[in-house]
C-alpha cells in the first residue's frame, strides 16, 4: 500500500551516510521524548481541573488517589528536561557539523524549538504553585514592553486584568494542543531531511557511500534510546523532584512574591540575557533574538567544507559558545545583583558575537 511504501522508505530502505556518528542519534531520541510527553500528558489531563481554586489541590490529591499518577507526573516533568537536553545537543550538532546549510530542514527545526519552548512554559503554569503563578505573571508582562499595543496584548493574553482563571484555562488548552503541532512539524522536518539527505561528520558529499537505514541505524538508535531512557527512569524513581523548584510546592498566592523568581533550568540562558539589558524593551528584544538568531545561520557566509571539523579556530569558538551557554544558565539562576548582572552582560555579548564571527572566520581560514 502507499502508506507502507512511505514507512518502508522512511525507516527501512532510506539511504544513509555510512559514517554518521552517535551525534546523529538525537533526532530519533527526540521523537521518543515527544511520544512520551504526549502520552504521559494525555494521562495527566484525565485527572486535571483547570481552575485556580482547584488545580493545585487536584495535582496533590492525584498523587495518592490515582494509581501511578505520581509516576506519570514525574515522567512528564523530567521528560521535559530530557527533551530540552536532546534539543540543545541536536542543535549543537547541527551548528558544529554545518547542518544549517539545509535551509528548509533547519528553519522547520527552529520553529519546532520555539513551539516546544512555548508548550513547556504553558505546562509549567498548570500546577498553579508559587513559581508557576509568578513565572506566568513575569513572562506575560514582558509583552507590555511592545510600543503602543503592549498593554492591550497583555490583557488579551491574561483574559482579564491579572493572571487568573481565564489565563489558566487557555494555557491548559494551548499546552494540550501544541505538542500535536510539534508532531506535525516533526514529520515535515523528516520529509525535508529525507528529500535532501543527511549530512555527515566529514562535511563532504556521501552520495557514493551510503547504506540502508535498517538494520544498521535502527539498532544504533535503539542502543541510544536505552542509554537516554535509563537515566530518565533513574531520575523518576530515585529523585523525581531534583530539577524542580521547591517554591512550586506552595499554592500560588498573588499577595506573596517569591524572593527569587526564575524559570525552569532550560530557560535560564535566555532569562540571563533578558536581565542583562537594563531597558525593558531591549531585554525583550535580546530574549527573542537569543533564539531567533538561529534563523540567521543558513544565511551566514559559507565555508568550503560543511562543519567545523577542519577549522581549528572555528572549533575553539564553538566550544567557547558551549561554555558561554552553560555559564549563562548558571548566571540566570542567580539573584539580580552584582556581580551576576555584569557577568550576564559580558556573556550575552559573547553569545551573540559567535553567530556574527563564525561565518567570516571560516571564510578567512579557507583563503
DSSP codes joined into one string, 337-350 = STTHHHHHHHHHHH
As annotated, the residues of the chain forming the CATH 1.20.810.10 domain(s) are: 2-258
Band of residue 215 on the pLDDT scale cut at 50, 70, 90 = confident
Residue 264: active-site member:
yes
Q: What's the CA gap between 209 and 207, in Å, rounded?
A: 6
pLDDT at 332 over 80: yes
Catalytic pick among 40, 199, 221, 348:
221
Q: Which of 162, 179, 180, 351 is nearest to 271 (CA)?
A: 351
Band of residue 336 on the pLDDT scale cut at 50, 70, 90 = confident
Residue 221: active-site member:
yes
Residue 198: active-site member:
yes
Topology (CATH level 3) of domain 2-258: Cytochrome Bc1 Complex; Chain C (1.20.810)
9 is in an annotated binding site: no
Band of residue 117 on the pLDDT scale cut at 50, 70, 90 = very high
Q: What stretches of 46-68 show up as alpha helix (H) in DSSP?
A: 55-65
**Residues 6 or more apart in contact with residue 313 via CB below 8 angstroms:** 361, 365
Residues forming beta bridges with residue 16, ordered by sequence position: 211
Give the range among 4-13, 35-44, 105-114, 173-182 with minimum mean pLDDT: 4-13
**Residues 6 or more apart in contact with residue 292 via CB below 8 angstroms:** 110
pLDDT at 207 over 80: no
pLDDT at 346 over 80: yes
**Residues 6 or more apart in contact with residue 95 via CB below 8 angstroms:** 297, 318
pLDDT value of position 122:
95
Residue 41 contacts residue 182 (beta carbons within 8 Å): no
Catalytic pick among 132, 198, 206, 344:
198
For 180-189, b/e burial (b = at least 16 CB within 10 A) is eebeebbeeb
Given the candidates 1.10.286, 1.10.3470, 3.40.50, 1.10.287, the CATH classification of the domain at 262-366 is 1.10.287
pLDDT value of position 238:
96
| Residues found in the chain | 367
- Residue that the C-alpha cell 508548550 belongs to: 119
pLDDT tens-digit readout, 27-58: 999 999 999 999 999 999 999 999 999 999 99
Q: Which of 294, 306, 291 is nearest to 101 (CA)?
A: 306
Catalytic pick among 55, 132, 264, 306:
264
Higher pLDDT: 6 or 127? It is 127
Is it true that the peptide bond before 215 is cis, omega within 30 degrees of 0?
A: yes
Catalytic pick among 194, 280, 302, 334:
194
Query: E strands within the chain?
Result: 15-17, 210-212
175 is in an annotated binding site: yes
Band of residue 87 on the pLDDT scale cut at 50, 70, 90 = very high
90 is in an annotated binding site: yes
Residue 269 contacts residue 328 (beta carbons within 8 Å): yes
Band of residue 179 on the pLDDT scale cut at 50, 70, 90 = very high
Is it true that the peptide bond before 314 is cis, omega within 30 degrees of 0?
A: no
As annotated, the residues of the chain forming the CATH 1.10.287 domain(s) are: 262-366
Residue 283 contacts residue 162 (beta carbons within 8 Å): no
Residue 96 contacts residue 308 (beta carbons within 8 Å): yes
Residue 220: active-site member:
yes
214 is in an annotated binding site: no
Coil vs helix vs strand at 17: strand
Amino acid at each position: 500500500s502507499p502508506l507502507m511504501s512511505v514507512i518502508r522508505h522512511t525507516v527501512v530502505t532510506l539511504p544513509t551516510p555510512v559514517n554518521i556518528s552517535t551525534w546523529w542519534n538525537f533526532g530519533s531520541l527526540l521523537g521518543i521524548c515527544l511520544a512520551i510527553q504526549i502520552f504521559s500528558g494525555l494521562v495527566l489531563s484525565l485527572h486535571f481541573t483547570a481552575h485556580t481554586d482547584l488545580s493545585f489541590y487536584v495535582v496533590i490529591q492525584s498523587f495518592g488517589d490515582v494509581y501511578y499518577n505520581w509516576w506519570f507526573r514525574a515522567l512528564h516533568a523530567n521528560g521535559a528536561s530530557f527533551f530540552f537536553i536532546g534539543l540543545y545537543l541536536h542543535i549543537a550538532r547541527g551548528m558544529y557539523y554545518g547542518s544549517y546549510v539545509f535551509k528548509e530542514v533547519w528553519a522547520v527545526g527552529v520553529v519546532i524549538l520555539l513551539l516546544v519552548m512555548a508548550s513547556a512554559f504553558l505546562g509549567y503554569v498548570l500546577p498553579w504553585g508559587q513559581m508557576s503563578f509568578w513565572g506566568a505573571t513575569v513572562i506575560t508582562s514582558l509583552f507590555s514592553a511592545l510600543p503602543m499595543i503592549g498593554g492591550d496584548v497583555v490583557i488579551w493574553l491574561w483574559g482579564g486584568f491579572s493572571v487568573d482563571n481565564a489565563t489558566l484555562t487557555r494555557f491548559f488548552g494551548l499546552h494540550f494542543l501544541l505538542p500535536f503541532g510539534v508532531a506535525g512539524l516533526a514529520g515535515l522536518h523528516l520529509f525535508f531531511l529525507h528529500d535532501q539527505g543527511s549530512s555527515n561528520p566529514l562535511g563532504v558529499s556521501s552520495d557514493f557511500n551510503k547504506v540502508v537505514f535498517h538494520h544498521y541505524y535502527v539498532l544504533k538508535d535503539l542502543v541510544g534510546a536505552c542509554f537516554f531512557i535509563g537515566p530518565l527512569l533513574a531520575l523518576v524513581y530515585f529523585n523525581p523532584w531534583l530539577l524542580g523548584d521547591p517554591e512550586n510546592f506552595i499554592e500560588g498566592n498573588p499577595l506573596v512574591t517569591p524572593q527569587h523568581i526564575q524559570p525552569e533550568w532550560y530557560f535560564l540562558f535566555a532569562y540571563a540575557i533578558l536581565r542583562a539589558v537594563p531597558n525593558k524593551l531591549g531585554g525583550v528584544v535580546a530574549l527573542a533574538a537569543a533564539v531567533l538568531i538561529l534563523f540567521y545561520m543558513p544565511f551566514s557566509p559559507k565555508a568550503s567544507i560543511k562543519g567545523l571539523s577542519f577549522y581549528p579556530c572555528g572549533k575553539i569558538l564553538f566550544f567557547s559558545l558551549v561554555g558561554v551557554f552553560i555559564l549563562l544558565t548558571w548566571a540566570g539562576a542567580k539573584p539580580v545583583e552584582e556581580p551576576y548582572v555584569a557577568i550576564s552582560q559580558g556573556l550575552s555579548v559573547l553569545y551573540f558575537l559567535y553567530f556574527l564571527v563564525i561565518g567570516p572566520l571560516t571564510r578567512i581560514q579557507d583563503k
